[in-house]
Amino acid sequence: MTHMKAIEVEIVSSGESALPAPALVKLSLLDESLADAPSISLAELQLRCGGTMPIQLQLNFDVSQIDPNRSYGLAVRIEKDGKLLYINTSSHPIKPDAVTGKQQVVVDKIEVPFGCIDLRNRRD
């Protein structure tokens, strides 16, 4: 039986907080239990927005998918035209079935180092 619950999330930047429109914001609830395998996404919210951070979101998930013996975390990626702009570089562990209050996830701006060529949007 499906039993939905919501996690209130505030996305904040560790530095610059301007988002170019239309940036794609991806917020995910991940099962991070397996150390040598990719995380499994249990819930995801994607939306396009611009402006400045913080960004307030509500992520809905099915509580019946949560196993109290597993490890979970929130992940945020912000992209524009397929180019990664911001990502949370620190883990944000949570217990989804017991979470209360707003979760604040800090994202860091991705910079291309000086002297390097950005090949992420290259079209050869």
Phi, psi of 89 (to 5 degrees): -95, -10
* Averaged pLDDT, 63-79: 96
Cα separation, 49 vs 46, whole angstroms: 10
Q: How confident is the model at residue 111 (pLDDT cuts 50, 70, 90)?
A: confident
* Averaged pLDDT, 1-20: 91
Cα separation, 80 vs 61, whole angstroms: 26
In this predicted model, what pLDDT tens digit does every residue of 19-53 receive, in sequence order?
A: 888 999 999 999 999 988 999 999 999 999 989 99
pLDDT at 124 over 70: no
pLDDT at 9 over 80: yes
